């Protein structure tokens, strides 16, 4: 089984969502032979001018082997190859961190992962499970929410654009709280994700 893990936290392996991703990997390792593609999204550059111009020109007009176009091809290939995707990300300013936005700009690409038609955008990727692990200092869902959430609706809409509709969110909210409470929340999310995986892959 091929797994793509996209780590979007500046805390990297010490991040709360990565610890949940690691619990998922540990569980999957017991069931499958894994091929893990670990992407540190925080190192991704923004798209460049060749990439931006290529959206309105034939491939032959650009050197596809350099800059953002080459990075985009590589990121799209690894997304296409994956059987399961894990996005581990903090909420930043009510939305996705800029590195996750950069990954999306590279993989949500006209003519490659979706087509623009007279009736709208047509997705080109085969659907697959996407586990989105989100961590936030405060609370953005449920009755206790006190801030807007542009993260989850945006991710649902943008992944659906390229054909990824089987998107599941697991959130660790309120990490600005006491450390022992946060550890409890992380353990709880680890347990719930692993229970879900066990059922989904049975």
22 lies in the binding site for ligand FMN (CB under 6 A): no
Is there a binding annotation on residue 135? yes
CB of residue 94 to ligand FMN, shortest distance in Å = 5
Is there a binding annotation on residue 60? no
67 lies in the binding site for ligand FMN (CB under 6 A): no
15 lies in the binding site for ligand FMN (CB under 6 A): yes
CB of residue 121 to ligand FMN, shortest distance in Å = 28
Q: State which of residues 3, 4, 16, 21 lies at the interface with ligand FMN (CB under 6 A).
A: 16
How would you label 132-155 residue by residue, b for 16+ Cβ within 10 Å and e otherwise? bbbbbeebbeeeeeeeebebbebb
Nearer to ligand FMN among residue 114 and residue 170 (C-beta): 170
CB of residue 197 to ligand FMN, shortest distance in Å = 19
196 lies in the binding site for ligand FMN (CB under 6 A): no
Q: Identify the CA nearest to 158 among candidates 90, 79, 82.
A: 79
Task: Compute the distance between CA of residue 94 and CA of residue 114 in angstroms, rounded to an integer.
Answer: 27
Interacting residues with ligand FMN between 140 and 179 (CB under 6 A)? 147, 175
Cα dihedral sign, 16-80-159-127: negative
Nearer to ligand FMN among residue 69 and residue 91 (C-beta): 91
Q: How far is CA 186 from CA 75, 99, 133, 160, 191, in A?
A: 29, 23, 11, 28, 9
183 lies in the binding site for ligand FMN (CB under 6 A): no
Q: Which residues bind ligand FMN (CB under 6 A)?
A: 9, 11, 15-17, 90-94, 135-138, 147, 175
């Amino acid at each position: 089984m091929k797994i793509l893990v996209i780590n979007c936290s500046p805390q990297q392996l010490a991040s709360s969502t990565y610890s949940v991703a690691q619990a998922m990997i540990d569980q999957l390792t017991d069931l499958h032979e894994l091929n893990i593609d670990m992407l540190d999204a925080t190192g991704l550059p923004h798209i460049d001018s060749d990439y931006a111009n290529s959206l309105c020109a034939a491939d032959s007009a650009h050197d596809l082997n350099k800059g953002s176009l080459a990075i985009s091809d590589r990121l799209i290939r690894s997304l296409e190859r994956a059987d399961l995707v894990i996005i581990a990300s903090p909420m930043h300013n009510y939305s996705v961190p800029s590195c996750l936005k950069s990954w999306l700009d590279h993989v949500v690409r006209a003519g490659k992962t979706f087509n623009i038609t007279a009736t709208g955008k047509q997705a080109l990727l085969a659907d697959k499970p996407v586990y989105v692990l989100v961590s936030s200092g405060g609370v953005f869902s449920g009755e206790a929410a006190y801030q807007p959430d542009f993260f989850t609706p945006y991710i649902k809409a943008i992944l659906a654009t390229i054909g990824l509709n089987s998107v599941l969110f697991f959130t660790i909210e309120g990490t600005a709280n006491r450390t022992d409470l946060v550890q409890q929340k992380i353990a709880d999310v680890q347990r719930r994700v692993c229970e879900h995986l066990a059922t989904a892959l049975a």
